[in-house]
Chains A and B, each alone.
Chain A
């Protein structure tokens, strides 16, 4: 099949940029470990309160790990436990969360901490908190009539 000269240039340019783009995304993902939250940790959604670490939600200082704090959240219609947390500015934090009932979201507004919470699964995301201030944590997946009132607060303090 004959393809017009300009069309060849156009497609070559397009395909090349596409390949470069995908390589950059790939390097950032596989070399620098910048993946979206994809934990493969499983839990019985009806026994969340009995199982560690969800039997003790909150901020926990840890030693000897790649992160300084573990922040444990339990979501259920229509609130998060704990309702507010505080972490020091500049620390590396692992967010660990799950839901006891339906699917919820876990988004820290104004950051790229954003993950789905699904019954039976633990969601995890490690990040460094490099902005001080108060950040709204909210549910961004429709979960029922109280959905838009489901919040918590992340305080990053100096």
Chain B
């Protein structure tokens, strides 16, 4: 779908060797999507009460596979494939050294994934992707998880090295916007995953090996959630990269403002880490003052979110008016509604409106009690991660994969991609809608089918569980469709050149102030806020710690 004028302007192709590294990540991502999605289908079927799992497989085993593969593996691998390609496209081809480091990272993560998966398949690690102690998995599962994290650091460093090299070669100039955004995302990822790394390496591994008998449960959960909330921003920021940088190009418009885009990313960096307590609001042992403080910090992400919404719709409107749109909302019709690269991520953006509203409820101090650990929460992150983020990733895959494989997205595949997104929207509306409603009635998340001893309340939940099974089945059809398109783009689509769309900044935008790229300032603020939000409650937790817990294998 590259136009003649775009070709004339010079077409930048990601180097073949970098493309290979990016594609390796993308392969793993889509394998994870298939297996994880299949487990999701089995879960909704089991929970409808109409189906039982064969061969002694347990509900919690497939739930663990679903969470680990889709929450951790699909996301991290797709993000790295996308980011490597984006850095190579905008900051230049990786050096041989950077690329080798990228491969070491890839294989480290993959070794970890395989090790952890084997333990889950052997039913030695049915601890879900949050692996809360004192449920105790086999030590190999924890080592696998540690390798995934360490591998992501190695692969991340390869991307950061390219950025550093670019900055040295171009002193005083703002770096390419998407490369800058990649580095912000990696900075956030490295800072937050230190928490889970400490939990796994210093608490879970020694304890599961029997080197120590007891574990500090609250500390381990706090370390996990110090990581767990920024984890969701690590998924979301690549979607924002697509929205800020790629979508304006696809609609034929310009990036509204380079400076505001950078500012909002830096705000995400500082406000997404010191907030983990909003996942622990109903837990004992944490003073409610510190919970409230982190609630306030959590809500600060509203600011960069509003910046983002404004910038995106501004570039849509400006483009629509350029095309002759009249009236207040006439520009909306002028958007390229037949181009999957736009439509699919756009549905993702739209889903973020209810998803964000739900998120505010979840993190609202007292209101959290109404929905904590109910299936409302599952409904919530199936809107954020499994709709907003995933549809944006699918939309990106439709140009990224053919760009990397030297093929094109045919008209038929473009059409099918739009159908896929509609199928997804229908399936998700039913499934996530049912989860939200029945969650408000009190139906729990992460639970096998149960009549709860014949409880009348629980009987009322069953129709919604059947609705979840219907929605989930439609979603699985959506997965088959996207895998078909991806397989086509990888191996069968006609050869040709596909653009990696990178938007240009509007000529009306202000010059970018270099302070936005001053890492000393932003990292200092980031770390000070973390210390502010966590130091006192964590010291309190350690000083007042009750006797620790021995491990349990209750599955």
**Contacts from A to B (Cβ < 8 Å):** 1-4, 6-7, 10-11, 14-15, 18, 21-22, 25-26, 28-30, 34-46, 77-78, 101-103, 105, 107-124, 134-136, 138-149, 151, 153
The reply to whether B455 and A18 contact each other, CB–CB distance below 8 Å, is no
Query: What are 11 A-B contacts with C-beta separation under 8 Å?
Result: A1-B513, A22-B299, A102-B135, A102-B549, A107-B372, A110-B442, A113-B369, A114-B369, A116-B282, A120-B218, A144-B135
Q: Which residues of A contact B134 (CB under 8 A)?
A: 101-103, 119
In angstroms, Cα B73 to Cα A145, docked, is 25
| Contact among A29, A108, A122 with B292 in the assembled complex (CB-CB below 8 Å) | A29
The reply to whether A134 and B373 contact each other, CB–CB distance below 8 Å, is no
The reply to whether B452 and A151 contact each other, CB–CB distance below 8 Å, is yes
Look across to chain B and name the residue whose beta carbon is closest to the beta carbon of A43: B546
Q: Which of B85-93, B179-187, B360-368, B526-534 contacts A (4 or more CB under 8 A)?
A: B360-368
In angstroms, Cα B472 to Cα A34, docked, is 37
The reply to whether A18 and B303 contact each other, CB–CB distance below 8 Å, is yes
In angstroms, Cα B450 to Cα A26, docked, is 38
The reply to whether B544 and A114 contact each other, CB–CB distance below 8 Å, is no
Look across to chain B and name the residue whose beta carbon is closest to the beta carbon of A118: B217
Q: Which residues of B contact A43 (CB under 8 A)?
A: 546
Mask, B533-544, CB within 8 Å of A = 1, is 000000000001
The reply to whether A38 and B218 contact each other, CB–CB distance below 8 Å, is no
Look across to chain A and name the residue whose beta carbon is closest to the beta carbon of B553: A144
From residue A65, how far is it (CB to closest CB) to chain B in Å?
20
In angstroms, Cα B287 to Cα A115, docked, is 14
In angstroms, Cα B445 to Cα A67, docked, is 31
Q: Which residues of A contact B552 (CB under 8 A)?
A: 77, 101-102, 144
The reply to whether A145 and B60 contact each other, CB–CB distance below 8 Å, is yes
The reply to whether B306 and A10 contact each other, CB–CB distance below 8 Å, is yes
In angstroms, Cα B458 to Cα A148, docked, is 11
In angstroms, Cα B282 to Cα A139, docked, is 14
Look across to chain A and name the residue whose beta carbon is closest to the beta carbon of B134: A102
Which range holds the interface residue count of chain B? 35 or more
B284 on the interface (CB 8 Å rule)?
yes
The reply to whether B366 and A28 contact each other, CB–CB distance below 8 Å, is yes
In angstroms, Cα B217 to Cα A43, docked, is 13
The reply to whether A77 and B554 contact each other, CB–CB distance below 8 Å, is yes
From residue B50, how far is it (CB to closest CB) to chain A in Å?
16
Main secondary structure of the interface of B (DSSP, over half): loop
Look across to chain A and name the residue whose beta carbon is closest to the beta carbon of B449: A148
| Contact among B218, B286, B373, B443 with A105 in the assembled complex (CB-CB below 8 Å) | B373
The reply to whether B374 and A140 contact each other, CB–CB distance below 8 Å, is yes
The reply to whether A140 and B372 contact each other, CB–CB distance below 8 Å, is yes
From residue A126, how far is it (CB to closest CB) to chain B in Å?
13
Name, among B286, B365, B368, B445, the residue most crowded by chain A CB atoms within 10 Å (CB to CB).
Answer: B365
Given known A14-B306, A25-B295, contact A38–B135 (CB-CB < 8 A): no
The reply to whether A34 and B285 contact each other, CB–CB distance below 8 Å, is no
B330 on the interface (CB 8 Å rule)?
no
Q: Which residues of B contact A138 (CB under 8 A)?
A: 442, 444, 452
In angstroms, Cα B61 to Cα A145, docked, is 10
Q: Which residues of B contact A11 (CB under 8 A)?
A: 303, 306-307, 310
Q: Which residues of A contact B307 (CB under 8 A)?
A: 7, 11
Given known A18-B299, A140-B445, contact A116–B284 (CB-CB < 8 A): yes
Q: Which residues of A contact B444 (CB under 8 A)?
A: 105, 107, 138-140, 148
From residue B127, how far is it (CB to closest CB) to chain A in Å?
8
B259 on the interface (CB 8 Å rule)?
yes
The reply to whether B554 and A121 contact each other, CB–CB distance below 8 Å, is no
The reply to whether A121 and B513 contact each other, CB–CB distance below 8 Å, is no
The reply to whether A136 and B450 contact each other, CB–CB distance below 8 Å, is no
Mask, B358-400, CB within 8 Å of A = 1, is 0000001110111011100000000000000000000000000
Q: Which residues of A contact B295 (CB under 8 A)?
A: 22, 25
Given known A10-B306, A118-B217, A142-B60, contact A1–B259 (CB-CB < 8 A): yes
The reply to whether A45 and B544 contact each other, CB–CB distance below 8 Å, is no
From residue B496, how far is it (CB to closest CB) to chain A in Å?
39
Q: Which residues of A contact B453 (CB under 8 A)?
A: 149, 151, 153
The reply to whether A121 and B284 contact each other, CB–CB distance below 8 Å, is yes
From residue B3, how far is it (CB to closest CB) to chain A in Å?
29
| Contact among B128, B135, B442, B545 with A109 in the assembled complex (CB-CB below 8 Å) | B442
The reply to whether B447 and A147 contact each other, CB–CB distance below 8 Å, is yes
Q: Which residues of A contact B302 (CB under 8 A)?
A: 14-15, 18
Q: Which residues of B contact A102 (CB under 8 A)?
A: 132, 134-135, 549, 552, 554
In angstroms, Cα B552 to Cα A146, docked, is 13
Q: Which residues of A contact B370 (CB under 8 A)?
A: 112, 114
The reply to whether A116 and B283 contact each other, CB–CB distance below 8 Å, is yes
